[in-house]
Structure 1
Amino acid sequence: MGGSSRRSPEAADFEAMHSSPEFQELRSKFRAFVFPMTIAFLLWYFLYVLLAVYATDFMGTKVFGNITWGLIIGLAQFVTTFLITFLYIRFANRVIDPRAAAIRHELEGEVA
């Protein structure tokens, strides 16, 4: 009905694409963002856990009112999670998605 259809790639097409420079670049860009971000977040998280276990006096220190460093750092974990999500979405939209779309178009193409 006027819509375009795509061809169905075969297993050999996927294998060839997997070793192509375009796919390797996509994978490299993805890993260059995800691995350092994951390591940074895990270090930040484990720092919080270690402070909670071994620095109870510090974590219990009141900053203002009944707000302690433990509460502030704990809430910062949520803020960090949302920030990482925002950064990843922005990165994926700018870097990953265009490359993935180009690879998909190369694999499936347009069939008239």
Structure 2
Amino acid sequence: MKKLLLSLLVLTLFGCSNKSLLFKGESEHWKGEYSADITNDTREDGQFIFKLKKGNKVKKNLEININNGQTVRTEELNNENTITIPNACSGCSVTSKSSPIEVTIKWNNQEETFKLKKK
């Protein structure tokens, strides 16, 4: 009985393939990263973090567009000049480690586009 339970446990552990991804990139005014855990190539739990570089301020109308409209977020920045955007899906097409993530950020009548790349 112990061998059967041990065998089932081993199969369960090896059957679940978990991957961690980390993408990073920056532009003149922004730094960004995306970190995610992917389970069985069908579930993704992650978050984007964007930070305005030191010495810059956003007054209003901040818009972050990820992968040409896949995710769009409009809001005001907090005192730390950081925005966190959670990302989760189940039964979905998960992020590919070989494709960079394109980000366009608009603020204060300015706009910058940069790519987050696998690290």
TM-score w.r.t. structure 2 length? 0.30
Q: Which has the higher helix share?
A: 1
Q: Which has the higher strand share?
A: 2
Q: From the CA coordinates, give the structure whose radius of gyration is larger.
A: 1
TM-score w.r.t. structure 1 length? 0.31
